[in-house]
Chains A and B, each alone.
Chain A
């Protein structure tokens, strides 16, 4: 069973062993509004924890997406090219962005679990 972690930048990462799936949270999708374009890192690319790794664009604006952990991209969600609205409909399901092979699972330690993320959202008002 995958464990899900959250970042302060509103990404989620679901981890199963050394593989992980990344996307943006329901809160982020709700704040962005209608999502019309998603750009993920290319398959085979390396991403670094905290660095820019893709872009999500709503009707209103473009926002950077940051990598919640370092690793190599093994798969991207190509379905989002034609149907970026899946991110609004199912941000933690069909609206996932890419999969990673983690290079350092210990990086996950300072991310939030679901309860901590909910508290964080409350503190952000």
Chain B
């Protein structure tokens, strides 16, 4: 048995306790699942104002080489995203794929504006070790992966995030969605991007571990900002139709099955040449036998991960991979894999919840429209 004493702590751990958080183990870290306000209030606050999230458990790393093109080309062997086309000061979402086209992890890649020999990666906490090992083993000579330790990552999310950020980092309001920059935030050296994982506008701010608490306290002192735990982070991303690794995507699901084709570059689809491109290009041409889709339960009962999805005839056609209650949607929301053509929007489905069939419909996975700064 491993006890809480074995769990890792982020640089904001003491602050979470001070704020009265309920802590839970997550990906090997002792993390705040909620603060005294509770998940529903925290969720609604983020959609209405601004929420501060500690995502320091995520992995931050540099991919360094002789120049941008060499580094981007090396990464393109491992991901289906267009890395060579990434402009300075821009960020992109992509996936590390394995030889059979399954997803090892999903990640954010940034081409910094102030360096021409590297890319900045942010990966999932639970996959850090697997990713770093995989990437390191598949790099050409001259390109190396450097995990960036002693860092914190703070997400500021919600419609008021821009105003709060601009107060401490003039000019940040001019950034567009997926722009990335480096500079001082509240006088603290930082790297930040206009992105996040809630469906809302916002920023993700990377700072040295020793500066993290000072930055978090400065932002939390703003009237618009409240601390938000992992519980609301999950309901926010679920309503926004965003995948959670290990649930909605894993080493068996391909980016095509996961409905992440939008993140595959046009040139990459034509040229291939990345891990698992055989399966992925074939699926793009021929279609898939299961596809991630939104599923809207018609009643009030949440349908959670593992619930079987049936068609009207009662045949099993899929499974829910993430589901629960959407505080902004005001009812149950879910996503899962469904066999075409039953994934088509508005197709009547049935969900097997606790042995009983409940009516549902195939839907867009985006239950609450995105509010990005385009």
A interface residues (Cβ-Cβ under 8 A, vs B): 33-34, 36-37, 39, 55, 57, 59-62, 81
Contact = CB atoms under 8 A, between A and B. Distances in A.
B325 interface: yes
Given A59-B324, A59-B327, A34 B39 contact: yes
A81 B301 CA distance: 10
Contacts, number: 36
Contacts of B325: 36-37, 57, 59
Contacts of B34: 33
Given A59-B231, A59-B324, A59-B325, A33 B38 contact: yes
26 contacts: A33-B38, A33-B39, A33-B231, A34-B38, A34-B40, A34-B327, A36-B40, A36-B302, A36-B325, A37-B300, A37-B302, A37-B332, A39-B301, A55-B354, A57-B302, A57-B325, A59-B231, A59-B235, A59-B324, A59-B325, A59-B327, A60-B39, A60-B231, A61-B304, A62-B302, A62-B304
B311 to A, nearest CB: 24
Nearest to B325: A36
Contacts of A81: 300
Contacts of A62: 302, 304
A59 B40 contact: yes
A59 B34 CA distance: 11
A91 B177 CA distance: 44
Interface in B249-287: none
Contacts of B304: 61-62
Given A33-B34, A60-B231, A61-B304, 19 more contacts: A34-B40, A34-B327, A36-B40, A36-B302, A36-B325, A37-B302, A37-B325, A37-B332, A39-B301, A55-B354, A57-B302, A57-B325, A59-B39, A59-B235, A59-B327, A60-B33, A60-B39, A62-B304, A81-B300
Interface string B205-240: 000000000000000000000000001000100000
